[in-house]
């Protein structure tokens, strides 16, 4: 069933304070670009469609937004030149026809919670026809935000930008975050009324609540209890602060699901990682997006799991082990100083300390297969592509070349590794 809600995400800015050639909203936060977190916010309120207003890096930003939107329709609108937040919504006006309500979000505000946005939409619905719901907060440091002025009865009166505040107004704690839920038809009528007669010569959404109050239409506020949600990302330092908040949320979710994270302060787990209950994550571990870890596993300390890694139930990877695009089967272990690259490892296999799967020949990556019950001796190098069948063994320091042709149960030793002849039994001799 259609929700009647269209979400407009403003993501056109260059983000010059980031001092980066990359568009600000494409900077990564816990394994995905900032704008992807905001598209997810839009999807959380069952948006019928998402309009992404882009400018700098338009093609890349649009592609990232579409990837995050999945099957939800996403329309990309280019804002050029960029003349303020009101102008950004004006250029998207053609995509807002028929919307019952329009929510405005920002591509650099990744920390808003789903329940906060749901409360904003509900407040607008309950306020009635023509109403505006706006999000406010009381941050520890309100510097840079417009202040909320209220009438003697406590109702919303207007927004005063900080540069225009009197000393008394500057002391107000409640600030405007710029996140709104508008009545759709009223918004389309109000947008052409915005004026650029200000010091910056731009059009601002902050003028719309004042227009509504002047006409007797309701303007309601939803205050964020957690000021962290209000944080925008304009600098690299603010990106790091946002990452700490988001990382804490991700770790808390895994712990609530039964994952033992021994030291959250030194554990880094990206968005979209799957971890089964009963798994133990030891300190100084980094797990990237695109990793799946089963139940009852042990990971760390000082382990790096890259995208494409799959650990089956009961698998263990330990000290200074790196896995990339590899699978470790049930009960298998790679505990010390090992690189598993483009490798599929079966069940109950032991990968000895210092083992390297040499998957790159200088031009291309190659895969290796390791069977069940294999014992790979310490310091072994497996040159890919290669295959170590079930029950095989390599001696310490073996270099298993592509031409090894190992058979089930073989023992290979040496450099290059060769088959160790089986000793004859007494009956055979």
**β-strand partners of 158:** 149
Triad 416, 380, 311: Cα angle to 5°? 140
Radius of gyration for the alpha carbons in the chain, expressed in angstroms and rounded = 28
- Preceding amide of 320 cis, omega within 30: no
**Do 269 and 287 form a contact (C-beta atoms < 8 A)?**
yes
HSE (side-chain half, CA atoms, 13 Å) at 246: 27
Which of 319, 322, 325 is CA-nearest to residue 344? 325
Q: Would you tell me the crossing angle of helices 34-44 and 114-127 to the nearest 10 degrees?
A: 50
Task: Dihedral sign for Cα 301, 304, 307, 309, please.
Answer: negative
Task: Dihedral sign for Cα 105, 96, 84, 145, please.
Answer: negative
**Do 6 and 48 form a contact (C-beta atoms < 8 A)?**
yes
Report H helices in 128-285: 167-170, 184-190, 207-214, 236-256
Catalytic residue among 228, 288, 304, 336: 336
Is residue 366 annotated as part of the catalytic site, yes or no?
no
Tell me the three state secondary structure of residue 92.
Answer: coil
From residue 315, give the alpha-carbon distance in Å to each of 230, 296, 309, 386. Answer: 40, 8, 12, 22
Pairing of strands 298-299, 292-293: unpaired
In the numeric block, the tokens 């031409």 are attached to: 403
Active site residues: 336
């Amino acid at each position: 069933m259609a929700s009647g809600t269209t979400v407009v995400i403003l993501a056109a800015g260059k983000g010059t304070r980031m001092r980066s050639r990359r568009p600000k909203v494409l900077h990564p936060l816990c394994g995905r670009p900032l704008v992807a977190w905001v598209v997810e916010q839009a999807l959380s309120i069952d948006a019928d469609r998402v309009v992404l207003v882009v400018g700098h890096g338009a093609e890349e930003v649009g592609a990232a937004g579409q990837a995050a939107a999945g099957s939800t329709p996403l329309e990309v609108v280019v804002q050029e030149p960029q003349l303020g937040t009101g102008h950004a919504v004006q250029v998207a006006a053609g995509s807002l026809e028929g919307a019952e309500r329009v929510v405005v979000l920002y591509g650099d505000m990744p920390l808003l919670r789903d329940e906060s946005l749901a409360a904003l939409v509900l407040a607008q619905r309950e306020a009635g026809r023509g109403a505006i719901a706006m999000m406010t907060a009381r941050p520890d440091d309100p510097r840079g935000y417009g202040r909320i002025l209220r009438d003697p009865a406590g109702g919303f009166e207007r927004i005063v930008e900080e540069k225009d505040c009197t000393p008394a107004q500057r002391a107000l704690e409640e600030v405007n975050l710029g996140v709104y839920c508008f009545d759709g038809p009223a918004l389309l009528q109000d947008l052409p009324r915005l004026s650029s007669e200000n010091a910056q010569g731009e059009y601002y959404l902050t003028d719309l609540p004042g227009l509504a109050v002047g006409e007797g239409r309701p303007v309601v506020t939803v205050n964020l209890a957690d000021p962290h949600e209000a944080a925008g990302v304009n600098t690299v330092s603010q990106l790091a602060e946002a990452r700490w908040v988001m990382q804490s949320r991700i770790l808390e979710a895994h712990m609530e699901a039964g994952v033992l994270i021994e030291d959250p302060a030194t554990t880094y787990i990206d968005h979209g990682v799957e971890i089964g209950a009963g798994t133990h994550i030891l300190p100084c571990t980094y797990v990237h997006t695109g990793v799946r870890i089963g139940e009852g596993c042990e990971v760390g300390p000082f382990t790096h799991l890259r995208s494409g890694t799959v650990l089956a139930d009961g698998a263990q990877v330990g000290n200074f082990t790196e896995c990339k695009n590899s699978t470790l089967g049930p009960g298998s272990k790679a505990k010390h100083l090992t690189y598993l690259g483009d490798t599929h490892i079966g069940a109950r296999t032991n990968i000895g300390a210092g083992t390297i799967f040499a998957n790159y020949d200088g031009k291309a990556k190659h895969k290796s297969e390791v069977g069940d019950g294999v014992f790979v001796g310490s310091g072994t190098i497996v040159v890919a592509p290669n295959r170590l069948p079930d029950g095989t063994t390599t001696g310490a320091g073996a270099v298993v070349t592509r031409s090894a042709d190992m058979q089930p149960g073989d023992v290979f030793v040496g450099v290059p590794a060769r088959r160790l002849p089986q000793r004859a039994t007494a009956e055979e001799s």
